[in-house]
């Protein structure tokens, strides 16, 4: 059963930002899909199981942004 969680990421301004966040989040084990809406900062992650928020936060920070 998949888990879908929406996070708010601050600092994204363009498609490149979205691509960076998507790339980092996609590297987390179990992540199946990442949907980013730059205008609102909404990042919806679909995964095989619920994700550890610390892992999500670390991936977002690695991309150069922050979870709010």
Domains defined for the chain, CATH in brackets: 13-67 (3.30.70.100)
Residue 46 · residue 2 · CB < 8 Å: yes
Q: What is the pTM of this model?
A: 0.94
Say if residue 1's pLDDT is above 80: no
d(CA 58, CA 15): 20
Say if residue 11's pLDDT is above 90: yes
- Residues 6+ away with beta carbon under 8 Å from 52: none
Average pLDDT for residues 11-36, to the nearest whole number?
97
pLDDT at residue number 63: 97
């Amino acid at each position: 059963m998949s888990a879908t969680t929406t996070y708010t990421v601050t600092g994204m301004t363009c498609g490149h930002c979205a691509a960076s966040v998507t790339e980092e989040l996609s590297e987390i084990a179990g992540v199946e899909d990442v949907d980013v809406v730059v205008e609102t900062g909404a990042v919806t992650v679909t995964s095989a199981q619920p994700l550890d928020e610390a892992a999500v936060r670390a991936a977002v920070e690695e991309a150069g942004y922050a979870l709010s």
